[in-house]
Amino acid sequence: MKTLRLREGKERSLLRAHPWIFDTAIAKGGADAGETVKVESFDGAFLAWAAYSPASKIKARVWSFDEKQRIDEAFLDGLIEQALHSRQLFQIQSNGVRLVHGESDGLPGLIVDQYDDTLVLQVLSCGVERFKSILVASLMKHTGLERVYERSDTQARSLEGLAPSTGWLSHPQTPKNVLLQIEEHDWRLNLDVEQGHKTGFYLDQRESRRRFAEYAHRLSFERVLNCFCYTGGFSVAASVGMRRAGVFSKGGHVTSIDSSASALKMADENMRLNGFSSEHHTLMDADVNASLRLFLQESRQFDAIVLDPPKFAPSHAHVDRAARAYKDINRLALQLLRPGGVLFTFSCSGGVSAELFHKIVASAGADAHVDGFIAERLQGAMDHPMTLNFPEGDYLKGLVVIRK
């Protein structure tokens, strides 16, 4: 068994059960990609069993803090079983569910999303890569599902020195359809596991979409703007609430903006799938920032606006620039809301804390000379859990602001 010896004082985060070991913490030792290593403090005390990643700044990720634990098939099978069991404790109204969320489930670098009868896997660390076939067999055994697709093609994987890997890992019969459908709350959504973002869809916004539908119904939104709409999740949610409120017969309308033509095509399909035609909605292939400025020039006003942009700050180094970008779109959106209108605004940047995001939106309001009630704070859905030991899990944060 190979050993990593840490430098003096570098054992502290491990003693708090944080699972990452950075290159700067290591005094000596190394191993092959994904190999299990024993991690010791500077004076030789056992700290953890971890998976080694030679190319990454995060040189090792912990499997277990228990010296007696063997890192083998039975151990990994137990982790998968636990992850699936915990989903039964969460309230999830969908057959699109994140079954494994990396570090939060004790499986650093493994993401598994279930879309109806299909599992979609992302492998983002050498440790998981090494045990991939064992993990896939365990997932299939515990879920009873036979269709498994891999979408390991993100930037995070290249930081690990791993080449992209995509395609079916298991499929019982042909045709091997990559277009899937899920039922979420009261609506249905199509998604593409081959071409879509992440594993195909943003499951993490499930609860916020539900809240948006409830607001649309309760406050009878008539003019809704969904910015960065991707495949139209918030547009469908709003429309379902608006239909319930009976506003479509009074000219209710949803406008959705995205700069990706393929996402907009799917958004159009998703609106039709739920019974909404082009008379109910407009899709704009455009830049959000430019569109918001244009709407202001045209003196347009909205009852509700969603701002769910891509990750503006992938790391702490980008936070200042990201803060300016978030502030810009929030200022414009607050100006476009009528008094009493509702803003659902999000950041999915790990580098932007909830507190900082709040400050950014507040300063956008100050610049726009607009005040608002902070009606709610939102976060990722429960199947993307944050844990006490892993604060980095807190990436998605949102605010619901009602304009005064």
**Interaction mask 153-192, ligand SAH, x per CB under 6 A:** ----------------------------------------
Under the criterion CB under 6 A, does residue 285 sit at the interface with ligand SAH?
no
Under the criterion CB under 6 A, does residue 143 sit at the interface with ligand SAH?
no
Under the criterion CB under 6 A, does residue 113 sit at the interface with ligand SAH?
no
Find the shortest distance in angstroms from Cβ 281 to ligand SAH.
15
Under the criterion CB under 6 A, does residue 288 sit at the interface with ligand SAH?
yes
Nearest Cα residue to 147 out of 197, 112, 105: 112
Among 234, 295, 312, 390, binds ligand SAH (CB under 6 A): 234
Under the criterion CB under 6 A, does residue 263 sit at the interface with ligand SAH?
yes
Find the shortest distance in angstroms from Cβ 332 to ligand SAH.
12
The catalytically annotated residue of 126, 227, 229, 348 is 348
- Beta bridge mates, 402: 342, 373
**Interaction mask 295-314, ligand SAH, x per CB under 6 A:** -------------xxx----
Please enumerate in sequence order all residues whose Cβ is within 8 A of that of 202, keeping only pairs 6 or more positions apart, or say none. 230, 233, 308
Under the criterion CB under 6 A, does residue 200 sit at the interface with ligand SAH?
no
Please enumerate in sequence order all residues whose Cβ is within 8 A of that of 308, keeping only pairs 6 or more positions apart, or say none. 202, 205, 227, 228, 230, 234, 344, 346, 348
Choice between 31 and 266, CB closer to ligand SAH: 266
Choice between 288 and 386, CB closer to ligand SAH: 288
Q: Which two tokens stand for residue 157?
A: 């994987």
Find the shortest distance in angstroms from Cβ 380 to ligand SAH.
12
DSSP type of residue 387 = B
Annotate 57-116 with DSSP letters as a single string. SEEEEEEES-TT---SHHHHHHHHHHHHHHHHHS---BSEEEEEEGGGGT-TTEEEEEET
Under the criterion CB under 6 A, does residue 363 sit at the interface with ligand SAH?
no
Q: Could you tell me which stretch among 33-41, 155-163, 212-220, 229-237 binds ligand SAH (CB under 6 A)?
A: 229-237
Q: Could you tell me which stretch among 123-131, 230-238, 270-278, 392-400 binds ligand SAH (CB under 6 A)?
A: 230-238
- Sort 193 into a burial class: Cβ within 10 Å, 0-12 / 13-18 / 19+: buried
Chain-centroid distance, C-alpha 282: 26
**Sheet of 96-101, strand order:** 96-101, 110-115, 118-123, 147-152, 165-170
Cβ atoms of 149 and 118 closer than 8 Å: yes
Choice between 53 and 226, CB closer to ligand SAH: 226
Number of residues that bind ligand SAH (CB under 6 A): 17
Nearest Cα residue to 135 out of 111, 118, 157: 111
Among 20, 63, 187, 202, binds ligand SAH (CB under 6 A): 202
**Interactions with ligand SAH, residue window 241-260 (CB under 6 A):** 257-260
Find the shortest distance in angstroms from Cβ 369 to ligand SAH.
25
Cβ atoms of 303 and 253 closer than 8 Å: no
Choice between 288 and 342, CB closer to ligand SAH: 288
Amino acid at 153: D
Under the criterion CB under 6 A, does residue 235 sit at the interface with ligand SAH?
no
Amino acid at 203: L
Among 53, 138, 205, 349, binds ligand SAH (CB under 6 A): 205
Choice between 11 and 207, CB closer to ligand SAH: 207
Among 230, 302, 326, 344, binds ligand SAH (CB under 6 A): 230
Cβ atoms of 234 and 211 closer than 8 Å: no
CA distance 299 to 308: 23
Under the criterion CB under 6 A, does residue 268 sit at the interface with ligand SAH?
no
Q: Which two tokens stand for residue 357?
A: 């995001």
Cβ neighbours of 150 (radius 10 Å): 21
Find the shortest distance in angstroms from Cβ 255 to ligand SAH.
13
Cβ atoms of 259 and 287 closer than 8 Å: yes
Choice between 141 and 188, CB closer to ligand SAH: 188
Whether 348 sits among the annotated catalytic residues: the reply is yes
Under the criterion CB under 6 A, does residue 287 sit at the interface with ligand SAH?
yes
The residues that are catalytic are 348
Which residues of this chain interact with ligand SAH, rule CB under 6 A?
Answer: 202, 205, 228, 230-231, 233-234, 257-260, 263, 287-288, 308-310
